[in-house]
Structure 1
């Protein structure tokens, strides 16, 4: 069991280092983008100054209307309607007529023959997050929501532009296909938290440390595999040079004590062979 666990840990660490080199969504509505020496962190669902709910609308939904088409959406969560709920002839895939819009995160209503027909365009965890412009990550991010149905595969793309002054929009709605829509809003949550990953001379040291740790992990893994499968060693003794690793704390303690004596000089109770003696 021990070699198997170590192999799993090694593979997990290797995958983590590999994925850090590219832009990856860390979880729903959180995104990390590495650009050279700068790490851009977007956590649009987390509380920020003056916006304790992050990107979430305090009304429970955002609403935008254009050309007799209305879209309701809530980024990072399902919608909640305490006022102005959608009135649709058909809303079975998003809560039904009595709870229309309450079981999805994006809904579009189109006027057909005097009736509003609703279609879900964002449902559940089907959310993708990416930066709008990789050459200029300060612009903001784009959140895409999807929904698959018997008639259409629908989507909604919401561009969250960085704006430190407050929330603006959404005001415009664009139809990109049979059931694909796009809109935008300005929000402080679209501004990234920037971390200088190689600043202050730490970059080369971090790289060297990672290389040393990877080499050490490879050495341990190779030694464990060899001793386990070829030498038949079991238990904790499967770790190569176990006696050396166990003795490291004692050696480190002795080294530290030696250095302390060297820099502090002889203690009061210490007397060299040349010390004077009072008779």
Structure 2
């Protein structure tokens, strides 16, 4: 059964436009860095890494409160979509002031690394929960998974969450590029997107934009008329703001269209004349 697409009314378009302008930043903040929606080849892919599932009530978040990866003398702790929580085995490295201090080390950030420097374990904060960003691992293959990246000053941590609907594979190692850019990977069902087919029919974004513009103009005329009528005491058709402009608008449009047609016709005639057949 075919789905009918109804044109949005002016009221709905106005509400949509206002919501986009005023509430988009708030919605983005509320969603956080662990939600992503992308359209690829008429398919909408929705990722919600922190959403609970029957087998994983915390989504991609570690149930221990943190992920831990050790390579040689270096240890990496991190948590996705939130700050870390340590109920056991907290970090004991030096220099943890930016991530909870010595008594609550690791509790005020989402990424922390410990490196052995001169026989001492020294901490470096590499991520905060509010600075996490999510992108596709492969733009041409959204089903592959997503990458969560957290950046703090000169350091960063990139965690690739590969889609695996059957198995959870914890991170086993990490790579370092530059002086303080870390990268690791894990496999998790939360890295799989919910795919929704998007029809190519209907108004689309351009038609909706035109409708919003038209309705905003109508809203401007309505508000201006009310203001001029009640506050300025102007009655009748004169209460309409910029009345002469709206009266002359159709004539101006006809003149512009006629001028454009003449220019195109002139170019067409010149083109034919340039390539006219020569008689010998």
SS in 2 for 1:120: strand
Q: How far apart are 1:14 and its partner, in Å?
A: 5.9
Separation in 2 of the partners of 1:106 and 1:147?
Answer: 9
Separation in 2 of the partners of 1:81 and 1:10?
Answer: 43
Q: TM-score, normalised by structure 1?
A: 0.69
The correspondence of residues 32-51 of structure 1 with structure 2, limited to 5 A, is 32-51=37-56
Q: How far apart are 1:48 and its partner, in Å?
A: 1.8
The correspondence of residues 199-214 of structure 1 with structure 2, limited to 5 A, is 203-207=200-204, 210=208, 213-214=211-212
Instruction: Name the residue aligned to 1:154.
Output: 155
Instruction: Name the residue aligned to 1:193.
Output: 194
Separation in 2 of the partners of 1:124 and 1:14?
Answer: 25
- How many pairs align? 216
CA contact (8 A) 2:134 2:147 kept: yes
Q: TM-score, normalised by structure 2?
A: 0.68
Instruction: Name the residue aligned to 2:124.
Output: 119
**Is 1:72 matched up with 2:70?**
no
Q: How far apart are 1:10 and its partner, in Å?
A: 6.2
**Alpha carbon RMSD of aligned pairs, Å?**
3.1
Q: How far apart are 1:169 and its partner, in Å?
A: 2.1
Instruction: Name the residue aligned to 2:65.
Output: 60
Q: How far apart are 1:178 and its partner, in Å?
A: 1.2
Separation in 1 of the partners of 2:13 and 2:209?
Answer: 18
Deviation digits for residues 90-118 of structure 1, max 9, x if unmatched? 21111111211011111000011221100
Q: How far apart are 1:62 and its partner, in Å?
A: 0.3
CA contact (8 A) 2:14 2:212 kept: no
Deviation digits for residues 192-223 of structure 1, max 9, x if unmatched? 0111121xxxx423539847853652453242
Instruction: Name the residue aligned to 2:95.
Output: 90
User: Which stretches in structure 1 are left out of the alignment for 5+ residues?
Assistant: 1-5, 20-24, 235-239, 241-279
Separation in 2 of the partners of 1:103 and 1:179?
Answer: 19
CA contact (8 A) 1:45 1:54 kept: yes
